[in-house]
Amino acid sequence: MIHEECEILIVEDNPEDAELMLRSLKKMNLANQVIHLEDGAEALDFILTQGIYAQRKNIIAPRVVLLDLKLPKVHGLEVLKEIKSNPETKNIPVVIITSSREDPDIKKAYDLGANSYIVKPIDFREFMTTLSHIGFYWMVVNERPN
Amino acid sequence: MKKRNTKYQALRIAIIFALLGIAWILSSDLLLSNIAKSFHEYEHIQTYKGWFFVVIVAIILYYLVKYQLALNNKLSDELLQHEMKFKNTMENMLEGVQIIDFNYRYSYVNDVAARHGMKRKEKLLGNAMMECYPGIEKTEMFQKLEQCMHNRKYHKMENRFELPDGSSGWFEVGIQPVPEGIFILSNDITDRVEAEQKNKEAQQRLIEAQRMAKMGDFTWDVQTGEVTWSEALLDMLGYPRDQEIDFDMINTLIHHPDDLESVTNWLYSSLESGSEILEPHEYRIKDKNGEVIYVCTQGKINIQKDGKKTIFATIQDITNLKENELKLEESEKRYKNLFMQSPDAIFINQQDVIVLANKAFVNLVNAEQIEDVIGKSPFDFFHPDFHDHVREKIHKVREEGIEISSYEEQIRSLKGSVIDVDVHRSSFENEGFTGIHVILRDITESKRAKQALIESKRQLNTVMGNLPGMAYHTTLDAQWPMEFVSEGCFDLTGYTTGELTGSKHITFGNIIIPEDRDNVWKTVNEMIRKARQFVLEYRIQKKDGSIRWVWDKGIVLQKEGGEKHSIEGFIIDITDRKDAEKALEEYQNELEVKVQERTEELEAFAYSVSHDLRAPLRAINGFSDILLEEYATDLDDEGKRLAKVIQKNSRNMSMLIDDLLTFSRAGRKAIQLTNINMQEMVKSVYYEATTEEKRKNLELIVREIPNCMADTSMMRQVWMNLLSNAIKYSSKTDKPRIEINWKEGNSKLIYCIKDNGVGFNEQYIDKLFGVFQRLHNVKDFEGTGVGLALVHRIIKRHNGEIWAKGEENKGATFCFSIPK
């Protein structure tokens, strides 16, 4: 994983949610280079290419980070903050995918520079549909900076 | 006579003179011839003799003529004087003197006559009477004058003359013929006539007075028996003026038969006594109508030198007097009765001897009869302790003649018991002696009552003293000068009653803390204006400096005339209560905070719980779907069914959690009121809640419901739930019909939604709005049972009400009210 190419980084501590996400991405044939991390600290190391992932320095950054807020070790918003305040990583699109519909979280996320905020639909079907839309959008439609 | 004398006198003197002359010549010649020696001497002496003779004659002539002239003067003076006297007399006569000549001309008029005639003397003199007084010819006097002119006789008359100035006067005229004509002497008797008239009037008045005084008089000539009555007497008795009065008539008609004897005795004894005074005697007589009159007769007995007696008496009608006397007698009798019967004990003290006493007094001193007390001294009855007091009072009454009331003296009855009495003493005239009228009142009962009153007052004081507060009585003044404070003031204020009520010391106003003083004064006055009483709380500073809260209630006592109002009230120390209140408040605040914290914790908890529950739900749903999808071929029908059950249940759980979350959010989210267009909202919610398919079969009627002030999202939730319910529960009817209406309430708006669906049994109406309570099976109608609870919560938070009516299979109507 350390050296794998990563187009989509999913930071999600719930394995089932993660599995559903992967499934939908797979359905869209977008699941090739998807890396799934389970806590905020590891996510930070990965994106900031530090720690155990220090060797990823020369690997291209992911096309999009799907970031949950409720993460162990480091909170999603903290991760977002770190990503967006680091000049080297601030351009990476971060899509907050979380269960919280709470206004303060939404506002804070956008304040910190989130590119998008998606509330996980309760219905799994909807969930999966939404995911595929997200995947399609960020991987296909969106232009990334160089 | 003098004339003749003069003639003779003159002749005599002339003859004497001649004789003397001759005698002188002869004698002198003789002498001379003897003396002279020569002719020459003789001639000289003759010449000297001649001169001498001439000188002598001249001197004699001088004295003679002087004498004569003087005599003449004297005579003429005398004559003049006489004339003057005569004139003076005429002038000074009181009578008027006029002398007219035969032509009726005034030859002399004196001043008085002129005055009488009211003309100036000068005007009259020389003029005829007819000229001076035109019309005088017609008068009686003039006729008399004419008569006098002719018959030269004296005439006298009285005449009323009209004077030139229009007034008139009475004159007595004497007409006397005199050589020159007529001498008229006139006397002004106007005054006399007037006096006579006045006298007559006075007499009349006297008679009238007598009549009014009901007095008449009579004379009785004892010898002849002649009785004369005055007019007044006649009138008094109603007899005519020409009534014949004689003894018979008097004895039969006049005198009252019962008194006849006494009158006769009185008259004869008076006559026989020889006194000149007829002493007054009262008796009855009858008037012409037979009415009885009381009279008093008195007078004089005139005894002439020959012993003949005449009685001059006045009779006065004293009927009124007598009547008054009788009335007085009666009233005296009545008083005596009163005296005797009076419930107050009375006795008369004369020179320290009881001369009169009534029954009540006898009873008071436990005597048997009046005789037991008469003759005793009042001091026998008054308690020895009071003797000095009594003596002093008696002395005062005697000396100053005033009435004195004396309270709480004591007397001793004949049995020895002591009785408390109030005594009233006054001066009393009794048959010429001044005594003391003493009224005693037994006050044993009233004293007892007084004691009872004092006792009850004492009890009241004790009660007041034990009350946990201070009763007070003050005037409405910013200084609150206390007229009275109860004992409780010491505990309340630290000051004694004396300190608070004496104006030299502090007033209650000083005790009220400065910050509260103005407010107290203002509030009291405001409250009094409205309701004549006040209640308020304020702080005072006790003597020891501590600040205490007090509760003060006072009532205004109406005072007449612009005096300041009086206030009676009660003050309690409520510091403890205030502290308790404060503690309670603080505690409540703490609780509020705690509750707030709890609620927040709870809500956070509810949130995170539901939040966290979502993820596993998603997984259950997702994975069971994946199972169905990808392993459909490996599952038989039963397997498929089981998987479906799992899915359905997790869906339910999901809805439940959502509803719970919404429910909890509704409780804590702040309400933001805006003006909501209810009509638009209903329509919009309807479209959100239904598909086009569903709407085809549904009849929705939305009346013109008014706007209201509510929280938008919450109200939306309300409509969403109510509408969804209506739709849901009428989904099984053929022609589902939903009507939304409104009505006006008491300062609120009432919205109603009515459906013709399956309705509900009103028996379970209490459960309708309960959380998780359902009246229908989930098989028939899905739902978590939270919807209506949520609606109920929201409406309650808007200070509205929600209620419902329903009937099974007939439909239901839900109504809620929103304050305007």
Mark the ranges of chain B whose per-residue pLDDT is less than 50: none
Which residues are bridge partners to B311 per DSSP? Answer: B220, B301
A chain contacts of residue B629, beta-carbon cutoff 8 Å? none
A chain contacts of residue B658, beta-carbon cutoff 8 Å? 122
Q: What is the mean pLDDT of chain A?
A: 87
B chain contacts of residue A123, beta-carbon cutoff 8 Å? 618, 621, 654
B chain contacts of residue A23, beta-carbon cutoff 8 Å? 626
Distance from CA of A80 to the nearest CA of B (A): 21
B chain contacts of residue A120, beta-carbon cutoff 8 Å? 614-615, 618
Chain A nearest-CA residue for B654: A122
Q: Is the pLDDT of residue A144 over 90?
A: no
Long-range contacts of B690-697 (CB under 8 A, 24+ apart): B690/B727, B694/B727, B697/B736
A99 touches chain B (CB under 8 A): yes
- Cβ A14–B619 below 8 Å, yes or no? yes
- Cβ B625–A124 below 8 Å, yes or no? yes
Q: How many CB atoms lie within 10 A of CB B247?
A: 11
Distance from CA of B521 to the nearest CA of A (A): 55
- Cβ A99–B619 below 8 Å, yes or no? no
Distance from CA of A59 to the nearest CA of B (A): 33
A100 touches chain B (CB under 8 A): yes
Nearest to A99 among B614, B621, B654 (CB): B614
Q: With beta carbons less than 8 A apart as the criterion, state whether B726 and B694 touch.
A: no
Instruction: Please give the pLDDT value at position B4.
Output: 61
- Cα distance between residue B575 and residue B548, in whole Å: 5
Q: Chain B interface, mutation test: which of A16, A101, A124, A126, most B Cβ atoms within 10 Å?
A: A124
Instruction: Please give the pLDDT value at position A93.
Output: 92
CA angle centred on A109, ends A103 and A112, rounded to 5° = 140
- Cβ B622–A20 below 8 Å, yes or no? yes
Give the three-class secondary structure for B395.
helix
Q: What count of CB pairs under 8 Å joins A to B? A: 43
Q: How many CB atoms lie within 10 A of CB A6?
A: 21
Total H helices, total E strands in chain A: 5, 5
The interface predicted TM-score of the complex, written ipTM, equals: 0.75
- Cα distance between residue B767 and residue B771, in whole Å: 8
- Cβ A124–B622 below 8 Å, yes or no? yes
Q: What is the DSSP string of B110-177?
A: -HHHHHHHTS-HHHHBTSBHHHHSTTGGGSHHHHHHHHHHHH---EEEEEEEE-TTS-EEEEEEEEEE
Give the three-class secondary structure for B466.
helix
User: In chain A, positions 70-89, which contact chain B (CB-CB < 8 Å)?
Assistant: none
B chain contacts of residue A125, beta-carbon cutoff 8 Å? 621-622, 625
The residue count of chain B comes to: 820
CA B262 vs CA B106, B258, B788: distances in Å: 75, 8, 129
Task: Write the burial class of residue B109 (CB in 10 Å: 0-12 exposed, 13-18 middle, 19+ buried).
Answer: buried
The residue count of chain A comes to: 146
Chain B nearest-CA residue for A125: B622
- Cβ B622–A14 below 8 Å, yes or no? no
Nearest to B615 among A14, A102, A125 (CB): A14
Task: Write the burial class of residue B637 (CB in 10 Å: 0-12 exposed, 13-18 middle, 19+ buried).
Answer: exposed
Instruction: Please give the pLDDT value at position B515.
Output: 92
As given in the structure block, the two tokens for residue B806 are 């329903």
Instruction: Please give the pLDDT value at position B249.
Output: 81
Distance from CA of A76 to the nearest CA of B (A): 16
Q: Chain A interface, mutation test: which of B618, B627, B629, most A Cβ atoms within 10 Å?
A: B618
The backbone torsions φ and ψ at residue B56, rounded to the nearest 5 degrees and listed phi first, read -60, -50
Give, as one character, the DSSP assignment of residue B569. E
Q: Where are the beta strands (DSSP E) in A1-146?
A: 8-11, 34-37, 64-67, 94-98, 116-119
Tens of pLDDT along B364-413? 888 888 888 888 898 888 888 888 898 888 888 888 888 888 888 888 88
Strands of the sheet with B168-178, listed across from one edge: B106-109, B96-101, B181-188, B168-178, B155-162
Instruction: Please give the pLDDT value at position B752.
Output: 94
Nearest to B621 among A23, A102, A123 (CB): A123
Give the three-class secondary structure for B223.
coil
Q: Which pLDDT band holds residue A94 (cuts at 50, 70, 90)?
A: very high
Instruction: Please give the pLDDT value at position B528.
Output: 83
Distance from CA of B607 to the nearest CA of A (A): 9
Instruction: Please give the pLDDT value at position B404.
Output: 85
User: In chain A, positions 110-139, which contact chain B (CB-CB < 8 Å)?
Assistant: 120, 122-125, 127-128
Instruction: Please give the pLDDT value at position B756.
Output: 92
A chain contacts of residue B618, beta-carbon cutoff 8 Å? 16-17, 20, 120, 122-124, 127
Enumerate chain B positions whose Cβ falls within 8 A of a Cβ in A: 607, 611-612, 614-619, 621-623, 625-626, 654, 658
B chain contacts of residue A100, beta-carbon cutoff 8 Å? 611
A chain contacts of residue B615, beta-carbon cutoff 8 Å? 14, 16-17, 99, 120
This prediction has a pTM of 0.37
